[in-house]
């Protein structure tokens, strides 16, 4: 549905990575960013008694949304590739997704949005970790 | 595949829009943002003779990528909804997608990445225009 | 202190705007984005009784932070300039800053962060409106 | 001139860092992001003979702009602070600024925008490294 894989195939130079894996990681990271933005907003609409228990979750969602969005940008560029930047940003993304996944998982029983977001963060963490291994 | 629709259903308060349409617009805008980032990068890897003819395309891609990313953020929030902000950002997104779609379409015969990006921009422009009509 | 004005002077082609005004607008918009991010976070740390009254403020801060960040990006690019994109994004920024400034102003007596943020939004709204007039 | 320091003082809970240093780092990172966006755009306006030699510089500028923008966001939030995320994003920022600073420095003799951007990246790299040490 997304153009991510087609755009990788249309890239006019060589990309030294498995394109199917790379497209999947970019889509996963981008989707995780959207889910974290939506989870922060859903937390804000919980009732007044619940809300104060969700402030850490909101903050971690906001960090994770920003870090995933930037990671998707870095992974979408191949010209003048520098492995150090990709590795460091992937590592930041893995850390943010682990922290945000743990935080959302703690509320998953009570809030569907936290359950979905916890799963998205786990999937994103794992996809980034596999790509980091593939990059070496 | 994305969690966008599921997150809208998990939102704890009411959203006065067709959720299926809204989820589709968010996914379309987010995907357009990624495609524009990838198109700018693909343009940068074209050969030295072609590159100077693509500078306007690269710049419009970069603007459109940023504007779409922000539009996806605004559309993903529903708490304290203010129709004026949504309308104005949708209008900016429609304008950016029209300009970027026109620019990429002018190179679509020569570059697959511009052809795919032109289509993504058209789809995004139309999805945002329909949502703007639905919001009223 | 910022390099914004120096970078405008170092731009290798012509920019058909007053460079001092443009540099000032970019810095004002960028600063407003940071202030809104900080205000959303400060609201999240208010006590449990106050927090539920600040959810609209947090949401508007988040929108305004994203819209200002993208506006600063668009205003920082001059290659392949398209006045329609600049105008539409400036209009979105003016709308977001007006809404966020009004919302923060309603809490300015109780929270210093809202008072500072309301002032930043007013300054940003006015700077963008003046630039929009200058662009025509 | 920016509100960064005033917003840190207005934060309603404790921040376990030197506020003057933190404000300075946030402003430096945000300014570096703007400078990198402007440098990428200035490179795009160099003449047709020069442009192909600047594609790596443009790409690194774009990465550095995104990574700095996200780092400024993370550093502007203090609620539910998680040192792991801050450290990992600071590390990514240091890496991006080192790479971008090196790349821009290679063109500093020929292009004022690259000279200014190289200096901004060095300053940002050092400010982030000092903050990373302070965080421990």
**Chain C within 8 Å of D45 (Cβ-Cβ)?**
yes
Q: Are C86 and C43 in contact (CB under 8 A)?
A: no
Measured between beta carbons, the chain A residues lying within 8 angstroms of B16 are none
> Is D42 in contact with C10 (Cβ distance < 8 A)?
yes
**Chain B within 8 Å of A82 (Cβ-Cβ)?**
no
Of C39, C84, C78, give the one whose Cα is nearest residue C61.
C39
Q: Give the pLDDT score at B104.
A: 98
| Interface probe with C: pick from A36, A45, A52, most Cβ of C within 10 Å | A52
Is the pLDDT reported for residue A116 higher than 80?
yes
> Is D11 in contact with C76 (Cβ distance < 8 A)?
no
Q: How confident is the model at residue C1 (pLDDT cuts 50, 70, 90)?
A: low
C-beta neighbour count of C1 within 10 angstroms: 9
Mean of per-residue pLDDT scores for chain D: 97
Is the pLDDT reported for residue A1 higher than 90?
no
Q: Which two tokens stand for residue A73?
A: 């940008």
Of A57, A85, A95, the CB nearest to D95: A85
Q: Is A106 helix (H, G, I), strand (E, B) or coil?
A: coil
Q: Cα Rg for chain B, rounded, in angstroms?
A: 16
Q: Give the pLDDT score at C17.
A: 95
Q: Is B81 helix (H, G, I), strand (E, B) or coil?
A: coil
C-beta neighbour count of C17 within 10 angstroms: 18
The alpha carbon dihedral of C8, C14, C15, C16 has a sign of positive
Q: How confident is the model at residue C87 (pLDDT cuts 50, 70, 90)?
A: very high
C-beta neighbour count of C105 within 10 angstroms: 16
**Chain A within 8 Å of D95 (Cβ-Cβ)?**
yes
Is the pLDDT reported for residue D1 higher than 70?
no
Q: What digits encode the pLDDT tens for the residues D76-124?
A: 999 999 999 999 999 999 999 999 999 999 999 999 999 999 999 999 9
Q: What are phi and psi of A3, to 5 degrees?
A: -90, 5
User: Considering only alpha carbons, which residue of chain B is nearest residue C85?
Assistant: B96
Q: Is C33 helix (H, G, I), strand (E, B) or coil?
A: helix
DSSP state of A12: S
Measured between beta carbons, the chain B residues lying within 8 angstroms of A100 are none
Q: Are B35 and A7 in contact (CB under 8 A)?
A: yes
Residue A101, CB half-sphere, CA atoms under 13 Å: how many?
16
The alpha carbon dihedral of B8, B10, B12, B18 has a sign of positive
Measured between beta carbons, the chain A residues lying within 8 angstroms of D53 are none
**Close Cβ partners of A92 (under 8 Å, ≥ 6 residues apart):** A67, A71, D85, D88, D89, D91, D92
**Chain B within 8 Å of D58 (Cβ-Cβ)?**
yes
**Chain D within 8 Å of B48 (Cβ-Cβ)?**
yes
Q: Give the pLDDT score at A95.
A: 98
Q: What digits encode the pLDDT tens for the residues A72-101?
A: 999 999 999 999 999 999 999 999 999 999
Of A87, A83, A35, give the one whose Cα is nearest residue A62.
A35
Q: Give the pLDDT score at D17.
A: 95
Of C16, B113, B52, give the one whose Cα is nearest residue D43.
B52
Q: Which two tokens stand for residue B45?
A: 């890897």
Tell me how far apart the alpha carbons of residues A86 and A76 are, in angstroms, rounded to a whole number: 10
Is the pLDDT reported for residue B13 higher than 90?
yes
Tell me how far apart the alpha carbons of residues B81 and C55 are, in angstroms, rounded to a whole number: 11
Q: Are D40 and D18 in contact (CB under 8 A)?
A: no
Tell me how far apart the alpha carbons of residues B127 and C49 are, in angstroms, rounded to a whole number: 41
Of B67, B94, B95, the CB nearest to C70: B67
Q: What are phi and psi of D38, to 5 degrees?
A: -70, -35
**Chain A within 8 Å of D77 (Cβ-Cβ)?**
yes
Tell me how far apart the alpha carbons of residues B79 and B9 are, in angstroms, rounded to a whole number: 14
Of C114, C132, C135, C103, give the one whose Cα is nearest residue C29.
C132
Q: Give the pLDDT score at B1.
A: 61
B27 min Cα distance to partner chain D (Å): 21
**Chain B within 8 Å of D52 (Cβ-Cβ)?**
yes
Tell me how far apart the alpha carbons of residues D124 and A67 are, in angstroms, rounded to a whole number: 18
Q: What percent of chain A has pLDDT over 70?
A: 99
> Is A96 in contact with D73 (Cβ distance < 8 A)?
no
Q: Give the pLDDT score at A50.
A: 96
Tell me how far apart the alpha carbons of residues B131 and C130 are, in angstroms, rounded to a whole number: 30
Of B103, B106, B24, give the one whose Cα is nearest residue B63.
B103
| Interface probe with C: pick from B82, B86, B106, B129, most Cβ of C within 10 Å | B82
User: Considering only alpha carbons, which residue of chain A is nearest residue D84?
Assistant: A95
Q: Give the pLDDT score at B91.
A: 98
Q: How confident is the model at residue A120 (pLDDT cuts 50, 70, 90)?
A: very high
Q: Provide the total of helices (H) and of strands (E) in chain A, helices listed first.
A: 5, 0
Mean of per-residue pLDDT scores for chain B: 97
Measured between beta carbons, the chain C residues lying within 8 angstroms of B99 are 82, 84-85
Looking at residues C7-19, what average pLDDT do you find?
97
Is the pLDDT reported for residue C130 higher than 70?
yes
Q: What percent of chain C has pLDDT over 90?
A: 98
**Close Cβ partners of A81 (under 8 Å, ≥ 6 residues apart):** none
Tell me how far apart the alpha carbons of residues C114 and C98 are, in angstroms, rounded to a whole number: 14
Q: What digits encode the pLDDT tens for the residues B47-92?
A: 999 999 999 999 999 999 999 999 999 999 999 999 999 999 999 9
User: Considering only alpha carbons, which residue of chain C is nearest residue D29?
Assistant: C2
């Amino acid at each position: 549905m997304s153009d991510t894989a087609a755009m990788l195939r249309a890239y006019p130079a060589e990309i030294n990575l498995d394109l199917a894996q790379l497209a999947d990681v970019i889509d996963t990271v981008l989707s995780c960013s959207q889910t974290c933005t939506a989870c922060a907003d859903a937390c804000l609409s919980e009732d007044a008694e619940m809300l104060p228990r969700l402030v850490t979750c909101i903050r971690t969602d906001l960090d994770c949304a920003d870090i995933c969005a930037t990671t998707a940008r870095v992974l979408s560029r191949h010209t003048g590739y520098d492995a150090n930047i990709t590795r460091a940003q992937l590592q930041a993304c893995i850390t943010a997704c682990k922290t945000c996944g743990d935080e959302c998982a703690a509320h998953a029983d009570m809030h569907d949005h936290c359950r979905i977001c916890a799963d998205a963060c786990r999937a994103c963490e794992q996809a980034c970790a596999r790509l980091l291994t593939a990059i070496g």
